[in-house]
Amino acid sequence: MLIGTLLMKHASAYYSPTFGRGGLAAVFSCEVLLGTTFTLDIDIEHKNAEDTTFTLLGSFTQFAAAGVDIKNLTGIKEQVRFKYTVGGATASSFVHFNMLAPAWRPY
């Protein structure tokens, strides 16, 4: 069984499905499991239902090796999504990671 997400280097960003917030604040976690000559940038974006575009809520520290990063963010709007940007030294650069479900809290 393969757990997580595998993304290849691409000229444009990948986006997660949009999901509703579960609280006004949350702890977001990502664990990078493996990859080859990669960089992974993850932005957390949010918006309210009446907004036409997403805005940046926060960003993880850039991943370039296996590891874990956690972001504790507040003031979250109604809708949330993740933006994944994969870079690397070669056209075959890839990253395999597990984006954990947010741990929601009231504030």
Nearest to 90 by CA among 41, 31, 39, 43: 39
DSSP state of 63: B
CATH number at residue 99: 2.60.120.260
Neighbour tally for 13: CB within 10 Å: 14
Contacts of 17 (CB under 8 A, 6+ apart): 81
Average pLDDT per consecutive 10 residues, the chain (107 residues; last block may be shorter): 90 97 97 95 98 98 97 98 96 96 94
Range of the structural domain that residue 71 is part of: 5-105
What is the amino acid identity at position 91?
A
pTM given for the model? 0.94
Give the total number of structural domains in the chain: 1
